[in-house]
Amino acid sequence: MSTDTIAAIGTALSNSGISIIRISGRDSLALIDKIFKSNQSLEPNKIIFGKIVKNEKKLDNVLVSYFKSPKSYTGEDVCEINCHGGNEITREILELVLENGARIATPGEFSKRAFINGKMDLTQSEAVINLINAKTRIESRIASKQLDGNLYSKIKELREELVELLAHIEVSIDYPEYDYEEVEPIKVKELLYKKIEEIQKIIDTYEQGRIIKNGVNVAILGRPNVGKSSLLNKLAEYEKAIVTDIPGTTRDIVEESINIGDIILNVFDTAGIRETEDIVEKIGVEKTLKKLDEVDLVIYILNAEEKVELKDFELIAKIKNKGIKLIVVINKMDRVEKSIFDTFMLQLKENNIETILPMSLINDDGIEELKNEIVTLFHTNDFDYEHELMITNVRHKDLLKKAIHFLKNASKSINSIESIDIISIHVKNATRFLGEIIGEDVSVDVVNKIFEKFCLGK
Amino acid sequence: MENNEYCLGEYDVIVIGAGHAGCEAALASARLGKKTASFVINLDTLANMPCNPSIGGTSKGHLVREIDALGGEMAKNADKTFIQSKMLNLSKGPAVHSLRVQSDRKMYHIAMKEVMENQANLDIYQAEIVKILVENNKVIGVKTKIGATFYAKAIIVATGTYLKGKVIIGEVSYESGPDGVFPANDLSQSLLDIGVELRRFKTGTPARINSNAMDLSKTEEQKGDEKIIPFSFENENNEEIKNRKQVSCYLTYTTEKTHQIIKDNLHRSPIYSGRIHGIGPRYCPSIEDKVVRFSDKPRHQLFIEPLGEKTSEMYIQGMSSSMPEEIQIQMYRSVPGLENATMMRPAYAIEYDCIDSTNLALSLEYKGIEGLFFAGQINGSSGYEEAAAQGLMAGINAVRKIDNKEPVILDRSEAYIGVLIDDLITKGTNEPYRMMTSRSEYRLMLRQDNADLRLTDLGHEIGLVSDVRYEKFLHKKLDIENEINRLITTVVKPTEEVNAILKEIGASEITTGVKLSDLLKRSELNYDNLTKLDSNRPFLADSVYEEAQIAVKYEGYIKMQLEQIEDFKKLENKKLKAEIDYEQIKGLSLEARQKLNKQKPLSVGQASRISGVSPADISVLLIYLSQGM
């Protein structure tokens, strides 16, 4: 098989059950090898158990099946990952697959390949026609909603300048003797950098989009009995976790969805981090650390009456290394001198911790300040839903990433003084991927632009 | 008329028109052994250049090379008659290097006429064809204005801009073909009668001015290349061509005054007053168009090109116009160097009938009328090279039609000819179509230097490339393969001497043994400056070095394009039968059903390029096909 490798989620995204990610194409097996670890080895038509690993960390326990070409749905090498359902984990595995060389499948593409490779039989094809039609209709409805608005005009605008650049390059190639300004490499590079930056910004909104759609995942950490459950209760404004003054009461992670302004907080209460012989408590601690992979924000609570220990700093360092946002709260300020807070501040600032809030949960002091801080951190209060651009579609993100890849290549080509037609190949590819988002054809555009922008002829 | 029926001949193939398309068509047909007749309104305009006296240029030079590789004549005729040769775009990468020559217009005509006259199986007639005879939707012959009937199994219409040609100069317009030749006024009606749809396009040409009345010292001289590279593979070692004395072109500019004259008289331009109805090309606007549309440009370039060695007529490229004659002369005289100019021939616009190219099959046969082929400007293209390419393909396919063979259809990944014909037939055009390198998706593969490598096999198979030439070609191919192999296997050791040479070139030094091919991949190194490090280099033709260098230097990009081509071919190879009634495929959108039924694409790939056919429609088509209906 010589076609490139495609991937998509083969089941509807939902929060329960099992999801399937299907990969098809010449590199399927090599790709799975990179991200899937198991004691058994993959054999055609067998399902084996193992884990999906990203940066040497486990994402999920999964079942993977392998169908060797031509005995598969598409007729190509196909691998299917059965992972635990839920938007987050499924999406994350799909992204990992895409990062490792697959491209997101277009609607109906698996069926298209199945057909091209002669794998479709009579009974299937009718069902697939229905499926494709349905899918296209829904997709187009969703797409047109997005296309009506911000994304369409933004991509159009991004593309416009690249098409203009292409037209400029092409005119210098197709009309070499005309006295148009030659394309200046430095100017082209400036434009490329600008575009890369703009596209990266849009890609970044994918995260924001996810947060707005699914909420901010918050973990409340701290040593036992510093007030983690109390804080959760205050935020939730009703008693959910069991609160006692005996350390280690909260044995499991309690999830709670709380609205703060426009943001949804998914709060995980956690067992205290400390060394303990209690076996149940130990499982809780492990779970807590594992949970950090899914977390956007950690609220770390310290007890104003206790000293900050090396262990706290170690844990905080881990959090920061993961790129998770952090707020440190000094609780029980009602029990100490106010000046103690300054001591904490000094010590924490030395360790590069910036957001520090005093709090007295028992007196309801500092709760509002914390809420405000969260809103500021995820600056959704100044996010203009109506007018600002945000992407939520992983296909769009994938295409944008490809566009960046080729823009970077173009810039590299300029650095190594490659000829202008090579640079144009990269820019054309980038423009094509952007065009795929909004369904436009680059070569037609370039030719039209040449005639619009440049004065040529006999 | 009816009582004066007489027949003057029976042929396999008849070609109407002997311009650049007609000549290639007639030659191809005759060379493939078919009894062929070529008709032209005036024999002295055979292979005429009514516009600029040049062959080639960006993408057009590619077409000429492809015509050559397939066994066409244009390259050889251009080699015989050029008076200046230039490889354009040398600084811009090998894919866009483009050969362009200035031709001696009269000599080009004479040389081509000589070839035509001496071609076996080919008869040439000066006659205007007024009627195409069709029986049972199949062509059977033609009728001349005088009244003679000629019978044929296939007819190729290559009438250029002659069909109901109308020349427009300011407020004056009259029926005429280009260069003052009679137009073909009757054939249009015959085409309409047999069901061919017609439309009207427009093009134009600048004035010709006597160089004796010019002060060329006020212009910039533009010389030809010192190293001349011929168009034709067969002339690779032709010493006469390589040593030919060249003439110069000259560069000058319009002035503020020119622009003012145009602005003051815009109301007298037929385009702006609405007297011209045909659709003109965007890429070759008249000077009045340029001044209006690009008003911020203070001046426009003008190239002064000689029409030949034994004439003082000069073509003023960049200044085509349809202004009244008395305004034209003021305009030209406002240009430095042309202050005392007289116009030997005024600039004019010309309107003509052409067909809607989407009514053709990719073989260039008209859908619904068997044996009727169209080629050249009548298909909505413009340019001598575009015409010649179509003429060649129409000639080949008319012969194959008679022989009951599958037509030869080049796809977009094989040749610019494929891009040209696919664009015309599949996408259609709303203005005279000009070839451009940017129209090709696989530009890096479709280079002018490798046209022979891409197409000589096919040319030989078709029967237009001789065995002698084919042998020579195979030899060159082998040389290239061996040379690439040598580059990959030869290791340069990091000696002091080697590094000294590298340093001298300005390249970074090497610390371990490096393959020649890896050195060549560096942007600062090339075949020339590596000579000293490559003492065992065999003595080979320049064209062999060039191919080897490109193959090595651009290996990564070539691989990328080959992969894209492979994907492209998958859909291209899914054939669609002409019998399919798309109305019956319910999954298709309404627009797709109509367009597909009208165009009857040959493959799913071609269907996907028809405007109005969406990716969803393509999926439906694929599934429809899988059901074996």
Domain ranges of chain B: 2-49+119-162+180-202+354-462, 467-556, 574-626
Q: What total number of domains does chain A contain?
A: 3
Residue B559 touches partner A, C-beta closer than 8 Å = no
Cross-strand bridge partners of residue B84: B102
Given this model, what pLDDT does residue B532 score?
Answer: 87
Pick the CATH number of B467-556 from 3.40.50.2000, 1.25.40.10, 1.10.10.60, 1.10.10.1800: 1.10.10.1800
Sign of CA dihedral A425, A431, A434, A438: negative
Of A88, A112, A138, the domain-final residue: A138
Between residues 289 and 328 of chain B, which touch chain A (CB distance below 8 Å)? 289-290, 293-294, 297, 300-301, 303, 317-320
Domain that includes residue A69, residue range: 6-138
Average pLDDT, chain B: 93
Between chains, do A416 and B523 touch, taking CB under 8 Å as contact?
yes
Structure confidence by residue, pLDDT tens digits, B92-108: 888 899 999 999 999 99
Residue B503 touches partner A, C-beta closer than 8 Å = no
One domain for residues A301 and A153: no
Pick the CATH number of B574-626 from 3.40.50.620, 3.10.20.740, 3.10.400.10, 1.10.150.570: 1.10.150.570
Query: Cα distance from A431 to chain B (closest Cα, Å)?
Result: 13
Given this model, what pLDDT does residue A281 score?
Answer: 47
Contacts of B96 in chain A (CB under 8 A): 173, 421
Q: What average pLDDT score do residues B393-406 get? A: 98
One domain for residues A119 and A186: no
- Parallel, antiparallel or unpaired: strands A36-37 and A47-54: antiparallel
One domain for residues A177 and A128: no
Query: Cα distance from B143 to chain A (closest Cα, Å)?
Result: 37
Between chains, do B89 and A129 touch, taking CB under 8 Å as contact?
no
pLDDT grade for B111, boundaries at 50, 70 and 90:
very high
Backbone angles phi, psi at A391, to 5 degrees: -110, 145
Q: What average pLDDT score do residues A381-407 get? A: 72
Given this model, what pLDDT does residue B457 score?
Answer: 98
Between chains, do B58 and A128 touch, taking CB under 8 Å as contact?
no
Between chains, do B620 and A418 touch, taking CB under 8 Å as contact?
no
Domain B2-49+119-162+180-202+354-462 grouped into CATH 3.40.640.10: no
CB B373 within 8 A of CB B157: yes
Cα–Cα distance for residue pair A450/B573, rounded to 1 Å: 33
* DSSP H or E segment with residue A46: none
Higher pLDDT, B342 or A121: B342
Is pLDDT above 70 for A221?
yes
- Parallel, antiparallel or unpaired: strands A356-358 and A325-331: parallel
A384, part of any domain: no
Cα–Cα distance for residue pair A245/A227, rounded to 1 Å: 9
One domain for residues A362 and A414: no
Contacts of B438 in chain A (CB under 8 A): 166, 170, 173-174, 443, 446-447, 450
Q: How far is CA B609 from CA A48, A163, B560, B594, in A?
A: 44, 20, 22, 15
Which tokens go with B378? 């009548």
Cα–Cα distance for residue pair B112/B23, rounded to 1 Å: 8
One domain for residues A305 and A350: yes
Q: What average pLDDT score do residues A156-185 get? A: 85
Of A313, A347, A377, the domain-final residue: A377
One domain for residues A236 and A371: yes
Is pLDDT above 70 for B473?
yes
Given this model, what pLDDT does residue A312 score?
Answer: 80
Contacts of B556 in chain A (CB under 8 A): none
One domain for residues A63 and A81: yes
Structure confidence by residue, pLDDT tens digits, B27-60: 999 999 999 999 999 999 999 999 999 999 999 9
Cα–Cα distance for residue pair B202/B280, rounded to 1 Å: 5
Q: What is the value of ipTM here, to two decimals?
A: 0.81
Q: What average pLDDT score do residues B397-417 get? A: 97
One domain for residues A252 and A358: yes
Cα–Cα distance for residue pair B586/B575, rounded to 1 Å: 20
Is pLDDT above 80 for A109?
no
Contacts of B98 in chain A (CB under 8 A): 176
CB B21 within 8 A of CB B158: yes
Residue closest to B386 by CA, chosen among B78, B60, B43, B153: B60
One domain for residues A33 and A106: yes
Between chains, do A174 and B58 touch, taking CB under 8 Å as contact?
yes
Residue B535 CB contacts under 8 Å (≥ 6 apart), including other chains:
none
Is pLDDT above 70 for A123?
no
Q: Is A235 left (phi over 0), alpha (psi -120 to 50) or beta?
A: alpha
Query: Cα distance from A346 to chain B (closest Cα, Å)?
Result: 53
Query: Cα distance from A47 to chain B (closest Cα, Å)?
Result: 30
Query: How many other β-carbons are positioned within 10 Å of the β-carbon of residue B42?
Result: 16
Which CATH number belongs to the domain containing residue A165 in this structure? Answer: 1.20.120.430
Which tokens go with B89? 């775009």
Angle, alpha carbons B390-B392-B398 (nearest 5°): 95
Contacts of B51 in chain A (CB under 8 A): 458
One domain for residues A300 and A370: yes
Give how far the C-alpha of residue B8 lies from the chain's centroid of Cα atoms, to the nearest Å.
34
Chain B interface disruption, residue of A125, A174, A175, A417, most B CBs within 10 A: A174
Given this model, what pLDDT does residue B314 score?
Answer: 97
Residue B611 touches partner A, C-beta closer than 8 Å = no
pTM metric for this prediction: 0.76
Given this model, what pLDDT does residue A441 score?
Answer: 60
Helix (H, G, I), strand (E, B) or coil at A363: helix
Contacts of B303 in chain A (CB under 8 A): 177
Choose among A108, A128, A419: nearest Cβ to B93.
A419
Contacts of A106 in chain B (CB under 8 A): 615
Given this model, what pLDDT does residue B19 score?
Answer: 98
Between residues 91 and 130 of chain B, which touch chain A (CB distance below 8 Å)? 91-96, 98
Choose among B297, B300, B436: nearest Cβ to A174.
B436
Cα–Cα distance for residue pair B268/B275, rounded to 1 Å: 10
Structure confidence by residue, pLDDT tens digits, B118-177: 999 999 999 999 999 999 999 999 999 999 999 999 999 999 999 999 999 999 999 999
Higher pLDDT, A19 or A198: A198
Which CATH number belongs to the domain containing residue A225 in this structure? Answer: 3.40.50.300
Of the listed ranges A11-20, A229-238, B557-566, the least confidently predicted one is A11-20
Cα–Cα distance for residue pair B569/A344, rounded to 1 Å: 69
Query: Cα distance from A173 to chain B (closest Cα, Å)?
Result: 7
One domain for residues A221 and A194: no
Is pLDDT above 80 for B247?
yes
pLDDT grade for B283, boundaries at 50, 70 and 90:
low
Of A107, A138, A169, the domain-final residue: A138
A397, part of any domain: yes
Higher pLDDT, A212 or B459: B459
A1, part of any domain: no
Query: Cα distance from B37 to chain A (closest Cα, Å)?
Result: 34
One domain for residues A360 and A242: yes
Between chains, do B283 and A456 touch, taking CB under 8 Å as contact?
yes
Is pLDDT above 50 for B483?
yes
Given this model, what pLDDT does residue A436 score?
Answer: 74
Residue closest to B23 by CA, chosen among B407, B390, B536: B390
